[in-house]
Amino acid sequence: MNPLQCIAFNTYGTGNFPGAPEDIPLEIRKKMGSWIYGCDQCQDACPRNQKRLKQTLVPDAYLEEIAPKMDPKVLLTMDDNYFHNTVQQLLYGYIWEKKFLQRNAAIALGNSGDEGVINLLAAAMEDPEEIVRQYSAWALGSIGGRKSKNALELKINSEQSEKVKAEIVSVLELL
């Protein structure tokens, strides 16, 4: 197995672990779908799990309780307090900085195709973290349309990071 092609690894390792690649490859971003942490595709494919996966399970009250706390819209805009006191408690120490979850949330929102999140992503283009701005630009491009294009064109001249500018330019070329 190549961990560089693993969606789960890319949600928590890329940019976060020593020796891991800095960026999530474009082809992996689309495959991430709405996953912001892990993915479980290997669990679904494993022959040993098939009997359990076919069972009708009782809804998990705990998972239903925490699901709204892990909504990509909430994660993209979370502050340090929310990250440390709510989200990080659920991650068992794999993600030490909120910017990586914000990156993953931006990817999930971009993959949603929901034009209703364009304003949220455009606001994230003002985040102090370069990685959040970079992946928010990608997400705007993934959603596409005139409103996304306008948000990116407004930002390109004021963006200080060359990496983010490069992402904006590559996205605008596709729109």
pLDDT at 2: 78
CA–CA distance, 52 with 50 (Å, rounded to integer): 5
CA–CA distance, 8 with 135 (Å, rounded to integer): 17
pLDDT at 49: 81
pLDDT at 39: 76
Total of domains in the chain = 1
The answer to whether residues 33 and 111 touch, using CB atoms and an 8 Å cutoff, is yes
CA–CA distance, 87 with 99 (Å, rounded to integer): 12
End-to-end CA distance of the chain: 35
Positions in the chain short of pLDDT 50 = none
Tokens for 54, please give them. Answer: 């076919």
Enclosing domain of residue 83: 3-174
Q: What pTM, to 2 d.p., does this model score?
A: 0.90
Q: Which of 170, 119, 102 is nearest to 141 (CA)?
A: 170
